[in-house]
Amino acid sequence: MYIKIFKGEYSVIEFIKKNNESCFFLQKEIKKITQKYNIYIEFLKSYIDDDPSVVKKFSITRLPTLIFFKGSFEVYRTTGYRKKETISFLIEKKLLKI
Protein backbone atom coordinates (compact mmCIF):
# COMPACT_ATOMS: atom_id res chain seq x y z
CA MET A 1 0.00 0.00 0.00
CA TYR A 2 1.48 3.32 -1.02
CA ILE A 3 0.27 6.08 1.25
CA LYS A 4 0.40 9.53 -0.26
CA ILE A 5 -2.82 11.44 0.35
CA PHE A 6 -5.02 11.43 3.41
CA LYS A 7 -8.73 11.95 2.85
CA GLY A 8 -9.44 13.66 6.15
CA GLU A 9 -7.64 15.88 8.57
CA TYR A 10 -6.87 12.97 10.89
CA SER A 11 -5.78 9.43 10.08
CA VAL A 12 -4.46 6.37 11.85
CA ILE A 13 -2.46 3.80 9.93
CA GLU A 14 -1.98 0.24 11.17
CA PHE A 15 1.23 -1.33 9.95
CA ILE A 16 0.63 -5.03 10.25
CA LYS A 17 1.74 -8.41 8.98
CA LYS A 18 -0.49 -11.26 7.85
CA ASN A 19 -0.54 -14.33 10.10
CA ASN A 20 0.90 -12.41 13.05
CA GLU A 21 -0.94 -12.95 16.32
CA SER A 22 -0.34 -9.48 17.79
CA CYS A 23 -1.39 -7.83 14.53
CA PHE A 24 -4.54 -9.97 14.37
CA PHE A 25 -5.62 -8.99 17.88
CA LEU A 26 -4.82 -5.31 17.31
CA GLN A 27 -7.04 -5.34 14.21
CA LYS A 28 -9.91 -6.65 16.34
CA GLU A 29 -9.42 -3.81 18.84
CA ILE A 30 -9.27 -1.17 16.08
CA LYS A 31 -12.46 -2.55 14.56
CA LYS A 32 -14.24 -2.02 17.90
CA ILE A 33 -13.49 1.72 17.93
CA THR A 34 -13.75 2.73 14.27
CA GLN A 35 -17.50 3.34 14.56
CA LYS A 36 -16.90 5.88 17.34
CA TYR A 37 -14.19 7.85 15.53
CA ASN A 38 -14.79 7.36 11.80
CA ILE A 39 -16.48 10.77 11.58
CA TYR A 40 -13.16 12.43 12.47
CA ILE A 41 -10.51 9.88 11.56
CA GLU A 42 -9.71 7.77 8.54
CA PHE A 43 -8.42 4.34 9.58
CA LEU A 44 -6.01 2.70 7.14
CA LYS A 45 -4.10 -0.58 7.05
CA SER A 46 -0.77 -1.31 5.48
CA TYR A 47 0.26 -4.96 5.18
CA ILE A 48 4.03 -4.99 5.15
CA ASP A 49 3.89 -8.40 3.45
CA ASP A 50 2.37 -6.72 0.37
CA ASP A 51 4.65 -3.68 0.31
CA PRO A 52 7.89 -4.07 2.30
CA SER A 53 9.04 -0.58 1.24
CA VAL A 54 6.73 1.01 3.83
CA VAL A 55 8.93 -0.44 6.59
CA LYS A 56 11.79 1.82 5.54
CA LYS A 57 9.63 4.76 4.50
CA PHE A 58 7.87 4.96 7.87
CA SER A 59 10.78 3.62 9.99
CA ILE A 60 8.81 0.64 11.26
CA THR A 61 10.92 -1.26 13.79
CA ARG A 62 8.27 -3.36 15.52
CA LEU A 63 4.88 -4.83 14.67
CA PRO A 64 2.15 -3.96 14.96
CA THR A 65 2.69 -0.21 14.68
CA LEU A 66 0.03 2.49 14.81
CA ILE A 67 0.91 5.93 13.47
CA PHE A 68 -1.38 8.90 14.08
CA PHE A 69 -1.39 11.68 11.49
CA LYS A 70 -2.79 15.19 11.37
CA GLY A 71 -2.83 15.91 7.67
CA SER A 72 0.41 14.47 6.39
CA PHE A 73 2.34 15.05 9.65
CA GLU A 74 2.98 12.28 12.15
CA VAL A 75 1.88 13.32 15.63
CA TYR A 76 2.28 10.06 17.54
CA ARG A 77 3.17 6.40 17.15
CA THR A 78 2.86 3.31 19.29
CA THR A 79 4.01 -0.24 18.80
CA GLY A 80 2.74 -3.59 19.99
CA TYR A 81 -0.72 -4.77 20.89
CA ARG A 82 -2.98 -2.23 22.60
CA LYS A 83 -6.51 -2.63 23.99
CA LYS A 84 -9.32 -0.49 22.58
CA GLU A 85 -9.39 1.66 25.74
CA THR A 86 -5.73 2.54 25.32
CA ILE A 87 -6.15 3.26 21.62
CA SER A 88 -9.17 5.49 22.35
CA PHE A 89 -7.20 7.35 25.02
CA LEU A 90 -4.29 7.91 22.62
CA ILE A 91 -6.60 9.10 19.86
CA GLU A 92 -8.31 11.59 22.13
CA LYS A 93 -5.19 12.90 23.90
CA LYS A 94 -2.52 12.73 21.21
CA LEU A 95 -4.46 13.21 17.98
CA LEU A 96 -7.75 14.99 18.67
CA LYS A 97 -6.43 16.73 21.82
CA ILE A 98 -9.79 16.39 23.60
- Cβ contact 14:68 at 8 Å: no
Q: Which are the contacts of 28, defined by CB distance < 8 A and separation ≥ 6?
A: none
What does the pLDDT read at residue 44? 93
- Residue 68's domain is classified under what CATH number? 3.40.30.10
Tell whether 5 is covered by a domain.
no
pLDDT at 1 over 90: no
Per the structure, how many domains does the chain have?
1
Residue 43, domain extent: 10-95
Residue 42 or residue 3, greater confidence:
42
What does the pLDDT read at residue 82? 97
